[in-house]
């Protein structure tokens, strides 16, 4: 068998899996190399998928033809809807995932995928032909050749586990670390940095007193991430909410001098949005208690994940403070909480395609790029996979803008602004939140997925039909008037809104704050016959039409700035009238267009004006020649 591939993916976590699937599904001969075949798409941290922004990412990946949505649906043991009353843009799904089932599911999908080989092997060296990638070499000296290599090494690079004073060079969950590859990247003069992440302990369910906690059940209503495929069908499990006590805080304060972050055991910055419990207690000293959830990790195990209580304090301190929490008085720790430190890249070294600027054909995705989270990793993996194949075929790269998708926000933030801590996506990071909803992810992206060859003809036709219905109904709602019947007026009064004197359009009724689409369905048989997902879109597009239009106008202005392309070879240091700071940043980031340039910190509106004029000047000079 030949060792020649089109694309090699190093790592089979969430980034690696999506990268490989995208490449193989687009028809490229793809190889995935992983340190352990027993841990494909492992969930080493919390056993959950989704939440605000993250659930949006899952839907977007799904609309493009990725796997994470279907895998989550297939392995969900709890599904909840969050933010239901806070507006359509931030509504999201959150699922508890059976970890074991998830990695089995994803392994099988990779195994069954045409054009894809899945092999165990530790990549130690990236091979080059000049400045261009030509393949990889494993620890056994095996050489695999490919013009495109995607690095998706997660937290394995120089991974170090820290619990109190104890440290160990290791990968997550006791897997082997990747050391030689880290050295190799150093040799390639890629600037690596150290980031930190942390997890809480896993505890035995039988040692918990659930009667002292608040139960959080799975929703009855059928919910799913994927726009196609099955609704979750596994038995469900609850999460349990409890709070730290004053004693917990006291124990942690008394032992804070033994925390690695205080004794200097950790070099890298940790993410602020998921601080360790010791970090929370020191930084937010006036907060009386912190909430935590006991999350089930699977159907066939009694291990619970103590969400909200990440720690790297010594094991004796952990045992003491976990037991100071109501419901955890007799808790048995199965695996201690720990911090993980690892090497990662500065994402401003990357292009929009996630290709490393200095090496053609070498891509990087996931935690290696300084992000955190399975969903963020999967999104990058998918985009790197797609773009590697497009580059292979000399086709136009595939980009998503900030107004098209959270995937666009994520990548643009990373490569334009960089990050000084593990980056987590939040809906607050998007300036067009009302456009980037999870309900319309299919509308935004299915067309792209189809054109890339990642969405089947059958799914595409179903999608087209859905959109036709939504658009038709939106028009019909405006033109359909309900007469002021006694029955309607009675219902209106019951809903605390004014009765009609003349006929009113369905649109105008739907826009009344007191009414919703289920109200209209009682008076309109056509609406009554439509499925829920279509009704949801109709409702949102109608109620928020004003806001949506306003954001669309902003997008249009932004689009014009994005279409003013800056040449890759522009020498900003030599450019007249640009501030020094701006020139340095521009030279480093090498923005693709004026829009991206405007988002670089230190680049002022005046600098942008100058750039605009410079562009025009160049254009005229070219024309004159």
Partner 1 sequence: MIKDYQTIAAISTPPGEGGIGIIRISGSQALAIALKVLQIPGLRGKTPKVRRVYHGYVVDQSKKEKVDEVIFFYFKNPNSYTGEDVAEIQTHGGIAVLRKTLELILAAGAVLAEAGEFTKRAFLNGRLDLTQAEAVMDLIQANSEEGAKQAMLQLDGALGRFVRKTLSRILNLIASIEVSLDFPEDYDPLDREALLAVLAELEAELRELLSTFKQGNLVRQGLKTVIVGRPNVGKSTLLNSLLGEDRAIVTATAGTTRDVLEEYYNLEGITLRLVDTAGLRQSQDEIEMMGIARTRSAIDTADLILWVVDAEEDLQDEDRELASLIKDKPYIPVINKTDLRHGQKIAADLKDLDLNREPVMIAAAPGQGLDDLRQAISQLVFAGKALAKNTPILTKTRHQQSVSQAMEQIAACQQAVAAYLPEDCYVIHLKDAYEALASLVGEGSYDEIIENIFAQFCVGK
Binding string to partner 1 for residues 491 to 520, with x set by CB under 8 A, is what? ----------------------x-------
Q: Cα–Cα–Cα angle for 29, 34, 40, nearest 5°?
A: 95
Member of 41, 45, 410, 520 binding partner 1 (CB under 8 A): 45
Q: Is 120 in the site for partner 1 (CB under 8 A)?
A: no
Q: Is 535 in the site for partner 1 (CB under 8 A)?
A: no
Binding string to partner 1 for residues 54 to 93, with x set by CB under 8 A, is what? ----------------------------xx-xxxxxx---
Distance, in Å, from the CA atom of 35 to the CA atom of 13, rounded to the nearest integer, reads 10
The strand pairing partners of 335, in sequence order, are 202
Q: Which segment (18-26, 385-393, 427-435, 497-505) binds partner 1 by CB under 8 A?
A: 427-435
CA 178 to the chain's CA centroid: 24
Nearest residue to 33 via CA among 112, 111, 118 = 118
Member of 308, 314, 337, 381 binding partner 1 (CB under 8 A): 308
Distance, in Å, from the CA atom of 362 to the CA atom of 119, rounded to the nearest integer, reads 20
CA 15 to the chain's CA centroid: 10
* Complex with partner 1: residue 119 or 619, whichever CB lies closer: 619
Least CB distance to partner 1 at residue 493 (A): 18
Strands 92-97, 166-169: pairing kind: unpaired
Q: Is 53 in the site for partner 1 (CB under 8 A)?
A: yes
* Complex with partner 1: residue 54 or 443, whichever CB lies closer: 54
Give CA torsion, residues 364, 365, 369, 371, to 10 deg.
Answer: 180
* Complex with partner 1: residue 464 or 560, whichever CB lies closer: 560
Cβ proximity of 613 and 621 under 8 Å: no
Distance, in Å, from the CA atom of 144 to the CA atom of 117, rounded to the nearest integer, reads 12
Nearest residue to 276 via CA among 294, 262, 296, 297 = 262
Distance, in Å, from the CA atom of 606 to the CA atom of 285, rounded to the nearest integer, reads 43
Nearest residue to 382 via CA among 8, 12, 22 = 22
* Complex with partner 1: residue 275 or 366, whichever CB lies closer: 275
Member of 426, 467, 474, 504 binding partner 1 (CB under 8 A): 426
Size of interface with partner 1, in residues (CB under 8 A): 64
Member of 212, 217, 464, 557 binding partner 1 (CB under 8 A): 557
The CA distances from residue 152 to 118, 324, 360, in Å, are 14, 39, 17
H-helix or E-strand spanning residue 479: helix 457-479
Q: Is 434 in the site for partner 1 (CB under 8 A)?
A: yes
The CA distances from residue 154 to 62, 177, 209, in Å, are 22, 11, 36
* Complex with partner 1: residue 34 or 92, whichever CB lies closer: 92
* Complex with partner 1: residue 73 or 607, whichever CB lies closer: 607
Q: Is 427 in the site for partner 1 (CB under 8 A)?
A: yes
**Residues lying near partner 1 in the complex (CB under 8 A):** 45-46, 51-53, 82-83, 85-90, 272-275, 277, 280, 283-284, 287, 290-291, 293, 307-308, 310, 417, 426-429, 431, 433-434, 513, 544, 547, 550-551, 557, 560-561, 576-579, 598, 601, 604-606, 608-610, 612-614, 616-617, 620-621, 624
């Amino acid at each position: 068998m030949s060792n020649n591939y089109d694309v090699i993916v190093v790592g089979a976590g969430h980034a690696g899996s999506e990268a490989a699937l995208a490449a193989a599904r687009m028809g490229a001969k793809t190889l995935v190399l992983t340190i352990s075949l027993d841990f494909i798409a492992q969930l080493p941290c919390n056993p959950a998928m989704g939440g605000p922004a993250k659930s949006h990412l899952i839907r977007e990946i799904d609309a493009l033809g990725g796997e994470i949505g279907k895998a989550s649906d297939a392995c969900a043991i709890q599904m909840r809807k969050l933010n239901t009353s806070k507006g359509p843009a931030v509504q999201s799904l959150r699922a508890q995932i059976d970890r074991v089932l998830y990695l089995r599911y994803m392994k099988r999908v990779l195994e069954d995928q045409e054009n894809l080989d899945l092999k165990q092997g530790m990549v130690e060296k990236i091979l080059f032909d000049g400045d261009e990638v030509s393949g990889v070499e494993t620890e056994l000296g095996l050489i695999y050749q490919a013009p495109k290599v995607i690095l998706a090494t997660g937290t394995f690079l120089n991974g170090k586990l820290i619990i109190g004073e104890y440290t160990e060079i290791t990968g997550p969950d006791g897997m082997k670390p990747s050391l030689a590859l880290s050295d190799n990247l150093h040799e390639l003069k890629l600037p690596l940095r150290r980031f930190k992440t942390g997890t809480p302990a896993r505890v035995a369910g039988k040692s918990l007193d659930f009667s002292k906690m608040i139960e959080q059940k799975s929703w009855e209503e059928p919910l799913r991430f994927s726009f196609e495929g099955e609704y979750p069908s596994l038995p469900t499990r609850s999460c349990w909410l409890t709070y730290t006590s004053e004693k917990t805080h006291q124990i942690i304060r008394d032992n804070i001098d033994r925390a690695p972050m205080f004794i200097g055991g950790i070099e890298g910055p940790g993410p602020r949005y998921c601080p360790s419990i010791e970090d929370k207690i020191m930084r937010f000293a006036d907060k009386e208690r912190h909430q935590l959830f006991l999350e089930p990790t699977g159907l066939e195990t009694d291990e619970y994940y103590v969400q909200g209580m990440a720690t790297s304090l010594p094991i004796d301190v952990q045992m003491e403070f976990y037991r100071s929490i109501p419901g955890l008085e007799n808790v048995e720790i199965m695996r201690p909480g720990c911090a993980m430190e690892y090497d990662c890249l500065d994402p401003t070294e990357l292009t929009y395609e996630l290709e490393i600027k200095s090496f053609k054909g070498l891509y990087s995705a996931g935690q290696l790029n300084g992000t955190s989270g399975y969903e963020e990793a999967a999104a990058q993996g998918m985009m790197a996979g797609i773009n590697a194949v497009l580059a292979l075929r000399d086709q136009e790269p595939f980009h998503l803008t900030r107004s098209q998708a959270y995937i666009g926000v994520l990548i643009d933030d990373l490569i334009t602004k960089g990050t000084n801590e593990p980056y987590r996506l939040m809906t607050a990071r998007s300036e067009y939140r009302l456009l980037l909803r999870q309900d319309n992810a299919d509308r935004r992206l299915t067309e792209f997925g189809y054109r890339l060859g990642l969405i089947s003809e059958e799914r595409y036709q179903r999608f087209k039909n859905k959109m036709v219905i939504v658009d038709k109904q939106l028009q019909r709602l405006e033109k359909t008037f309900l007469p002021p019947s006694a029955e309607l007026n009675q219902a209106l009064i019951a809903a605390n809104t004014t009765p009609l004197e003349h006929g009113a359009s369905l649109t105008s009724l739907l826009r009344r704050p007191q009414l919703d689409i289920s109200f209209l369905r009682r008076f309109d048989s056509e609406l009554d016959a439509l499925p829920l997902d279509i009704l949801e879109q109709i409702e949102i597009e109608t109620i928020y039409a004003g806001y949506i239009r306003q954001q669309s106008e902003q997008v249009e202005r932004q689009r014009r700035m994005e279409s003013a392309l800056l040449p890759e070879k522009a020498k900003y240091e030599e450019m007249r009238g640009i501030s020094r700071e701006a020139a340095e940043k521009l030279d480093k980031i090498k923005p693709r267009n004026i829009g991206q340039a405007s988002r670089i910190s230190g680049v002022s509106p005046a600098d942008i004006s100058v750039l605009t004029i410079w562009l025009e000047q160049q254009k005229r000079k070219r024309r004159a020649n």
